[in-house]
Structure formats: C-alpha cells, structure tokens
Amino acid sequence: MENMETNISIKNLDLSFGAVDVLKNLNLDIGQGEFLVLLGSSGCGKSTLLNCIAGLLEITDGQIFIGGRNVTWEEPSKRGIGMVFQSYALYPQMTVEGNLTFGLKNAKVPKAEIEERVARAAKILQIEPLLKRKPAALSGGQRQRVAIGRALVRDVDVFLFDEPLSNLDAKLRADLRVEIKQLHQTLANTMIYVTHDQVEAMTLADRIAIMRGGLILQLGSPDEIYSRPANKYVAEFIGSPSMNFFEGHIDDSGFATQGLHVPLQGYDFAGPRPQGPAWLGIRPEHIASGEVASAHPVQMTGKAELIEPLGSDTLVRSRVGDRQIWLRMDGQIKPRPGDELPIGFDPAMASLFDKDSEERL
C-alpha cells in the first residue's frame, strides 16, 4: 500500500460531544483503491469516524481530504461518497428503482444517464428482477444488495460501509461478504468498512485499523495484525478463541513463568531485547499437540477438560498445572475430556508484551 496514491486523508481529527471526546487527534491516510476496515468493539468510535468522513457528523477540529480536495465543510452529497448502512435504510415508500434513482434525481442527472447507471448497477448486483418491487417485499440479502446499488449508481470513488452485514444471518453474511470482495476487485474503488466482526475484517481488508476509545491502536495488513499484534488488546481481540497468555519474566535465558521456561532464540523482538516482567501470548492454532509436539522447543503435558468440535477443527480447553490453555486441533482428532495431551509450541510464533504498558516487545 505504500506506493499507492492517497485518496482519503484524515488530519488531526477531533470530535467531542459536549465534554466527551469521542475521537482524539486522529490521523489516517487511505490509498486509492484500498479496502480499509475499521475494527473494534462497540463504542470504540469506528462508526463515528465513518460518519465524520461521510459528513453526517460535524467534526470539532481537524481536516478531511477526499481525492485531494478539502471536504471538511462539504455536504455529504458533495463529497463523492456512497454509503451503505446496517439497517439498509431503504426508503420504504419507493420501489427499488426509486431508491436507486433518488440521489441521481436530486443531483439532476440526465434521464438517459440515470437509466444507464441503474441498469449497470442492477446487472452487477443481479437485482434486475426486483426493480419494480418495494423494499418490504425483499429479503434481507436483497435489501442489502439494493442498498449497495444505491451507492453504486452514484458513480463515486469512495464507498463507506457501516456494518452492512450485521443484520443478516450467518449464511447470507458469508455470501455477501464474498460479493463485496468481488465488487471491490471489479470496481477497484476505495472502500472503508466498519465492522466488529474479525472474520469480515480479516477476509476483506487490505489494511485493518483496530480502534479503541477513539484511538487507532494498530493499522496494518491482516497478516501483520494477526502475527505481530502491536499490543495485548489487539492480540486478544483478534483470533477466536483468544490468544493464551502467560504472565512471567524475561531474563537472559528466556521467558520464565511458573513451571515453564521458554527460550527466546527464534523470537523477533520489536526493539532491543528487554528484561523484566512481561506477558507471553500464543495462539491456540500455534500450539501443536500429539506426536508433533515433541518437535517444538517448548513442551508440556495438558489434560483435556472441554472439547468444542467445529467439524473442520476441534477446540480443546486443556489444563496445564493451574493454567487453562486453549488449543486448536485437526477436526479428525477426537479427544475426550480427561485425555492426557502432549502439547508444544515454537516461541517464534509467540508474542511478548510489556507487563505494564502492554505494548509489543
């Protein structure tokens, strides 16, 4: 993304409602054609940020540039954006066609061009048979398709998605997720996508911005966020089940925690090798079990306590000493509660965080 031309630039953005600061001095540059996902739990300010970019919320301070133009004081309709909402927000009294053309009619687009654009959007989204229907006569998936179509006909450079799939059931969500990704590959325009669902974030994003308390904690590719989380919050937030954490101490020989010593030869430190109290985190999928465990530098024996079969994988909560450790196994292995499991992991796959600042070491 580095050599990509910047399309959206947010500079020193502040937003406060009365005494509550929702966004604090936020800076973000989004490249032309990039798919950026804003990810975070509810109340982290991700939707607020999207509304600021759209111009639906008046910002307290800072600037917003879209396509090189300062749009800080522009109306939403003049910013060159299309927006898709969680509740679809289709105009109930208009047909699908009316919904698609409403914005174009407001912008006084010539009739022939309106028809052309609607036909094109309807073809891309396969909603041609629905054009004469009212939103009430559509299913959830169809409604969201129409909502995307409403952004599509605007022929804009930037698409904003505000949790567009949250109201759909699991199967439809997965289908539409693929369609949105396909759409992005076809149109190649900039998309900003707000979600609290990490699967959506990982699968769709070129880059993910993880937000908390109005701040961006980490901005990076899904792979970076997954493998090298910048702090303990990000590490815990991404991945399901969550990363296993060990509280311990780093010294010259490695990471020492109660009943376990982890050599840190393979670990890629973010800075100079530190000393002192720290967290060691390892993802359940990076813990090997069974015979292969003996090949790993760190080895333990765990006792299976709780089994969650998922079909493709099996999640196991095991007990090592007085610790609970989650691990992910192949779905073909079917342990039973009480089984003794040899487990092991490679410290190179682990993450270390400072005990106090919780920043990556």
> Rounded to the nearest 5°, which phi and psi values hold at 76?
-55, -40
Among 17, 73, 91, 269, binds another protein (CB under 8 A): 91
93 binds another protein (CB under 8 A): yes
150: contact with another protein by CB under 8 A: yes
Note the residue count of the chain: 361
Give the span between the Cα atoms of 282 and 264, in whole angstroms: 13
CB of 330 to another protein, least distance (A): 42
90 binds another protein (CB under 8 A): yes
193 strand-pairing partners:
37, 161
DSSP one-letter code for 23? E
Which of 139, 137, 141 has the alpha carbon at shortest distance from 176?
141
- Distance CA(266)–CA(60), nearest Å, equals 47
Q: By CB under 8 A, which span of 75-83, 276-284, 293-301, 302-310 interacts with another protein? A: 75-83
Which of 92, 271, 272, 338 forms a contact with another protein (CB under 8 A)?
Answer: 92
In the complex with another protein, the residue whose CB is nearer, 109 or 174, is 109
Under rule CB under 8 A, residue 88 binds another protein: yes
76: contact with another protein by CB under 8 A: yes
Binding to another protein by residue 103, rule CB under 8 A? yes
Any contact of residue 54 with another protein (CB under 8 A)?
A: yes
- Of the two residues 135 and 220, which places its CB atom closer to another protein in the complex? 135
Per the CB < 8 A criterion, the answer to whether 204 and 37 are in contact is yes
Do the Cβ atoms of 314 and 329 come closer than 8 Å? Answer: yes
| Residue whose C-alpha is closest to residue 76's, from 89, 36, 243 | 89
How many residues belong to the site for another protein (CB under 8 A)?
30
Q: At what angle do helices 96-106 and 140-152 cross, to 10 degrees?
A: 20
Least distance from another protein to the Cβ atom of residue 311, Å: 34
CB of 157 to another protein, least distance (A): 14
- Strand ranges of the sheet holding 20-31, from the earlier edge strand across to the other edge: 20-31, 6-17, 61-66, 69-70
Whichever of 93 and 301 has its CB closer to another protein, that residue is 93
How many Å separate Cα 110 from the centre of its chain? 39
Candidate list 6, 32, 65, 89; residue touching another protein; CB under 8 A: 89
Contacting range for another protein; rule: CB under 8 A; set: 37-45, 60-68, 79-87, 210-218: 79-87
Judged by CB, which is closer to another protein: 62, or 103?
103
Least distance (Å) between residue 194 CB and another protein: 13
Q: Is 77 in the site for another protein (CB under 8 A)?
A: yes
- Write out the binding residues for another protein, residues 32-51 only, by CB under 8 A: 51
Contacts with 54 (C-beta within 8 Å, 6 or more apart), sequence order: 76, 79, 81, 83, 160
Q: For residues 31 and 35, give the distance between their C-alpha atoms in angstroms, rounded to a whole number.
A: 8
Q: What is the 3-state secondary structure (H, E, C) of 266-320?
A: CCCCCCCCCCEEEEEEECHHHEEEHHHHHHCCEEEEEEEEEEEECCCEEEEEEEE
Closest CA to 208 of 231, 192, 186, 188: 192
Strands 287-289 vs 323-330: parallel, antiparallel or unpaired: unpaired
Q: Which stretch binds another protein (CB under 8 A): 89-97, 183-191, 271-279, 329-337?
A: 89-97
Q: Within 105-134, which residues bind another protein (CB under 8 A)?
A: 106-107, 134
Candidate residues 45, 82, 229, 239; the one interacting with another protein per rule CB under 8 A: 82
Least Cβ distance, residue 74 to another protein (angstroms): 12
Closest distance to another protein from the beta carbon of 101 (Å): 10
Q: Does 20 bind another protein (CB under 8 A)?
A: no
By CB under 8 A, name the binding residues for another protein.
51, 54-56, 75-78, 81-83, 85-93, 102-103, 106-107, 134-136, 150, 154, 162
